[in-house]
Structure 1
Amino acid sequence: MRMRSLIAVLALLLSTFVQAVAQSGGTPLKVAIAGDAPPYVINNATSGLEVDIVREALPGYSLEFVQMGFAETAPALEQGKVQAAVNVMKKNDGLFYSDKMISFANYAITKASDKMKVGSIADLAGKKVITWQGAPMDLGPEFEKMYGPNGTQRQNIVQAPTAPDLVAQFWKMKDVVAVVDMELFKYFSNRMGHKMDQVDLFQIFPLMTDFRVGFREQKVRDDFNRGLAELCRTGRYKELLKKYNVVQKQDICN
């Protein structure tokens, strides 16, 4: 009799759990993502290109986006504070990294009035550079050699914690080079009253810089990869690019 009662209680608890998960939209998943940076992350991570890609690639999960600084997302994943992190680079650290999730068109950007010329990464030497936190590790070995922890130009780099900070500081500083995604730069510059005809763009980095989503569990990573592949197969990924007016010469589906 006691065994039957115990089984009944366990069955009730299991039913309650399943019902709660179903009502929440799926398995709970806490995801680290950067602060608002339209068109990629908008309105406290309730919309935006990155938010929509991750959400639509994981339809069986109930996502809770946790916003933080550029340099905080990967450590939050490593420390187990979240179960996933958007926009990270693949590392050999025992975690599970997705296929390429999104590409950014990073440029060296200067004020036209400063009349600066930047034809290569090497041309940044001696110039003040402002970029995102962690960029020295994201933009390739040559940039890292110059601006990484032991870089020869380390004293000349400013790493902004958020996208609005990066763009705002660029417009306040003289003779500075912003290294940032063009769409993000354009959005915040327009909001701050500046136009793109006030700047010069130099394509000194690879056409696109690719980022992934990191996960603590292999199954969730595999589910995400399958969902991402489906977004590409159906053309939905390109629809999302169009929805947020992100124009790319190539994307992760090409």
Structure 2
Amino acid sequence: MNPASRLLRPAALALASAIAAQAGAATVSMAFGDNLPPYILVREDAGIEVEIVREALAWRGHALQARYLPMGRIPPSFKARQVDAIMMDVGEDMTPHGGYYGAPPVVYDNVFYTLKSRRLVIRKPQDLVGRSVMSFVGAANRYPVWLAGLSRNDYVENNHQEVQPQLLALGRYEVVLSDRSVFRYYARSKPGFVMPAVDEHSVIQADPNDYRPVFRDAAIRDDFNAGLAHLHKSGRYRAIYDKYLKD
């Protein structure tokens, strides 16, 4: 073998590997929530969550086709085979419906918010009884110990989390359950609105299993997991977070 051939051989092998990987590439339609800055930005087809999933799939050649739906429609869209994957199951096990769970691309840090001026203490589920509580869709399924026992008059789930800071400030609700980054984003996104001082009651233990994507194809799930591991190892995962959260 001449020297030129020796030089070309590694490049040829790399190209062959890339072609082989691309041969199994697919366009993956995945249902996400219909706007949850900074994790999901529908108009920009971007956000922390969307970018991480897109780049993890792309690691082995797959292309993401994001579809944005209200949270309550995400599980039905998978069961009806309208999408190839969903970002999370909203508290409903998708395994009986042909779902393969992947590793969590993000973990939401959900806390209870109250106005500091109210001096409320939340340490146990009983502390919410009789309080007006607002949360996101699917929260009672995620945290039944805390929320399932609240009366319908006191508890509401709303798909539009952008109203949470304002309604808390106005006293429409005494308690709001939200992810820290989501709440902070909305608290400072409305021109002229100044969020009063709040207390954060961090009493819910984050469970990564609550935020796992579900795929219909086990091989694509495996490719996604490999891509996500690469994002963590390479530092790209942290860079995506910093892009959206650094002031």
1:44 Cα deviation (Å)? 2.4
Residues 1:211 and 1:218: Cα distance change in structure 2 (over 3 Å): same
The reply on whether 1:34 has 2:33 as its aligned counterpart is yes
- CA displacement at 1:112 relative to structure 2: 2.3
Matched residue of 1:87: which SS?
coil
Question: Would the aligned equivalents of 1:84 and 1:215 in 2 still touch at CA under 8 Å?
Answer: yes
Could you say if the C-alpha distance between residues 152 and 176 of structure 1 is closer, same or farther in structure 2, counting changes exceeding 3 Å? closer
Which has the higher mean CA deviation after the structures are superposed, 188-197 or 63-72? 188-197
Q: Which 5+ residue runs of structure 2 have no aligned equivalent?
A: 1-21
Q: Does structure 1 conserve the Cα–Cα contact (< 8 Å) formed by 2:32 and 2:74?
A: yes
RMSD of equivalent CA atoms: 2.4
CA contact (8 A) 1:41 1:50 kept: yes
Aligned in 2, Cα 1:161/1:180: closer, same or farther, shift over 3 Å?
same
- Provide, for residues 111-152 of structure 1, a one-character-per-residue CA deviation record: whole Å limited to 9, x for no partner: 22333222233311111110011111123x412xx42xxx35
C-alpha distance 45-120 of structure 1, shift in aligned 2 (>3 A): farther
> How far apart are the structure 2 equivalents of 1:208 and 1:107?
13
Measured after TM superposition, the shift of residue 87 of structure 1 is: 2.9
8 A contact 2:167–2:173 mirrored in 1:
no
Q: In the alignment, what sits opposite 1:121?
A: 125
Matches within 5 A, 1:88-127: 88=89, 89=91, 91=93, 92-93=95-96, 94-127=98-131
Structure 2 SS opposite 1:104: coil
Q: CA distance change for structure 1 residues 162 and 70 in 2, over 3 Å: closer, same or farther?
A: farther
Closer, same or farther in 2 for the Cα pair 1:246/1:204, shift >3 Å? Answer: farther
Of Structure 1 and Structure 2, the greater strand share is in 1
Cα distance, 1:43–1:95 mapped onto 2, change above 3 Å: closer
Q: C-alpha distance in 1, partners of 2:51/2:73?
A: 21
The one-letter code matched in structure 1 to 2:127 is: D
Partner of 2:168: 170
CA pair 57-90 structure 1, distance change in 2 beyond 3 A = farther
Percent identity among equivalent residues?
A: 27
Counterparts of 1:27-176 in structure 2, within 5 Å, are: 27-44=26-43, 46-59=45-58, 60-88=61-89, 89=91, 91=93, 92-93=95-96, 94-139=98-143, 141-143=144-146, 146-147=147-148, 151-176=149-174
Alignment check: 8 A CA contact 2:115 2:196 kept: no
SS at match of 1:99: coil
Tell me the CA shift for residue 214 of structure 1.
0.9
Residue 225 of structure 2 corresponds to residue 222 of structure 1: no
Q: Name the SS for the 2:187 alignment partner.
A: helix
TM-score, normalised on structure 2?
0.78
* Distance change in 2, residues 1:90/1:221 (3 Å): farther
CA deviation profile, 1:197-226 (whole Å, cap 9, x unmatched): 521111111156551111111111111111
Say if 1:246 and 1:133 are closer, same or farther in 2 by CA, change over 3 A.
Answer: farther
Cα 1:77/1:165, change in 2 over 3 Å: farther
- Relative to 1, partners in 2 of residues 1:54 and 1:45: Cα closer, same or farther, differing over 3 Å? farther
Give the TM-score taking structure 1 as reference length: 0.76
Q: Aligned in 2, Cα 1:195/1:117: closer, same or farther, shift over 3 Å?
A: farther
Cα displacement (A) at 1:77: 1.3
Per-residue deviation, 1:227: 0.8
Q: 2:227 is aligned with what amino acid?
A: G
